Amino acid sequence: MALELVKDKDSKETFNEEECEVLLRGVVSTRLLEQGLICRADDKGDPVIQLSPPLITTRAQIDDMVDVLDRVVTEVDHRFHSRARHLRAMPAASSPAQTAVLAANDL
């Protein structure tokens, strides 16, 4: 199972490499693990969360995994977009990587 994350649902704009590193590996993976779900970020640097449940996983366990994913992704989405709106109001001295790091620090 895999879930690709994008910055904007409408335009399908993806995260750059630095944002992927901070948000997916630093924040999303950590939050999922804290909620009991082990995942791995894509090894090619793409904004993809990968899950590898065993073949004997039950429907109820899959439903639990989806619930955890939904909670964490929704939480990160709200915080990231809230922080990004705040940063857009600031002077344009920050790089995209600094923006991603600052957003991740607020998560």
Does pTM surpass 0.85? Answer: no
Kindly state the helix (H) or strand (E) to which residue 50 belongs, with its residue range: strand 48-50
Domains of the chain: which residue ranges?
2-105
Q: pLDDT confidence of 63, banded at 50, 70, 90?
A: very high
Count CB-CB contacts under 10 A for residue 28. Answer: 26
Which DSSP helix (H) or strand (E) runs through 49?
strand 48-50
Contact (Cβ atoms closer than 8 angstroms) between residue 3 and residue 73:
yes
Lowest mean pLDDT among 18-27, 48-57, 81-90: 81-90
| Closest of 19, 59, 20, 57 to residue 38, by C-alpha | 57
Q: What's the CATH number of domain 2-105, 1.10.3720.10, 3.90.1150.10, 2.60.40.10, 1.10.8.100? A: 3.90.1150.10
Please give the pLDDT value at position 79. 81
What are the CA-CA distances from residue 42 to residues 29, 55, 60, 84, 107 (Å)? 11, 21, 26, 24, 21
Burial 75-88 (b: 16+ CB within 10 A, else e): ebeeebeebeeebe
